Amino acid sequence: MSELKIGTGVPMTLDGADDPERPAVPDAARTIEELGFESLWVPDLIIGDGTPALEAALVLAAASAATERINLGFSVLTVPLRPAAWIATQIATLQALSGGRLLLGVGSGGFPDSPFWQALEVPARERGARTDATLRVLPRLLAGEPTDLVPDAPPLTLGPTTPMPPVLVGGNSPVAMRRAVESGGWFPSLISPDDLRPAVARLREMADERGVPAPSVTVGGHLIVGADESARSARESFVRNLVDNHGMPPETAAKVPMTAASPEELADVFAAYEAAGADRIVTGPDNGDHRTGLRMMIEARTMLDG
């Protein structure tokens, strides 16, 4: 029996005005839960150049109110943009609203040169240090322990106490892997099974060196469904974007998108990631009818239990 978990993202719209084919957040969340996904994920990508975007924690709150069982995750929360005290308060609130269903995907990246980062006056050079500092104090803040955050200010004590959610550190870099070992979960993205396998082996070596359990591995990806000209075009466009905008070598970029024309092919893709060390895959159809793609994902996951 496979133990692979499958999650997917919720469309970041409220009323479908920008895309009539996409349901509003509460409706989408209920559908994702009813289909049988293990987890539902929300990105934290506010750029500030006019690109439509919603605040991730508030979207998760809406999804929490519309569901009962499914886990709810950030994919991923951009830690440097928020003070540690505010993140702790958001986490505590989401844990209370959801009954402890939160998965805390975190990252230090995002778009540090974007208007949104500049409007918040967050220096890009400080993002790593801010991320590490926040991850260090979060468990104490959520546990209700008095915590010194600002020199010459009284310690901050939050209540009621809240269980610390699982932390999944986003990013494929050595620094991200170090944080993952320290935090207990790794959330790489844009990585093929062939490249994931040696990375997971290294991650486990790092955990052994520190005498801690090996982190869980959640892989974020992009799914292209179908075999027609539209699907081929979507795949080519995605690969070209990885090369042109992410600086990825063409041969590496070509292996990144999850491509499947049938549930059987997608089951093979999922199995390859699980064999490479993935405990969970978070993806969703980038093309075609969204609900049909979601059903294909669930059918493919069922096939793994064969």
Query: What is the pLDDT, as a whole number, of residue 16?
Result: 47
Among residues 127, 222, 212, the alpha carbon closest in space to that of 176 is found at 127
Q: Do residues 288 and 231 lie in contact, with contact meaning Cβ atoms separated by under 8 Å?
A: yes
Q: What is the CATH number of the domain that holds 94?
A: 3.20.20.30
Q: What is the pLDDT of residue 12?
A: 72
Q: What's residue 18's pLDDT?
A: 53
Amino acid, res. 108: S
**What is the model's pLDDT at position 109?**
85
| Phi and psi at residue 147, to the nearest 5° | -130, 125
Preceding peptide of 174 cis, ω within 30°: no
Burial 161-179 (b: 16+ CB within 10 A, else e): ebebbbbbbbbeeeebbeb
Q: Domain of residue 67: give its range.
A: 5-303
| Strands annotated E in 166-241 | 167-170, 185-187, 216-220, 223-225
Per residue of the chain (306 residues), give pLDDT as tens.
Answer: 899 999 999 977 554 445 556 688 999 999 999 999 999 999 999 999 998 889 999 999 999 999 999 999 999 999 999 999 999 999 999 999 999 999 999 999 878 999 999 999 999 999 999 999 999 999 999 999 999 999 999 999 999 999 999 999 999 999 999 999 999 999 999 999 999 999 999 999 999 999 999 999 999 999 999 999 999 999 999 999 999 988 999 999 999 999 999 999 999 999 999 999 999 999 999 999 989 999 999 999 999 997
Total domains in the chain come to: 1
pLDDT score, position 246:
87
Which candidate, 124, 88, 125, 122, places its Cα nearest to that of 106? 88
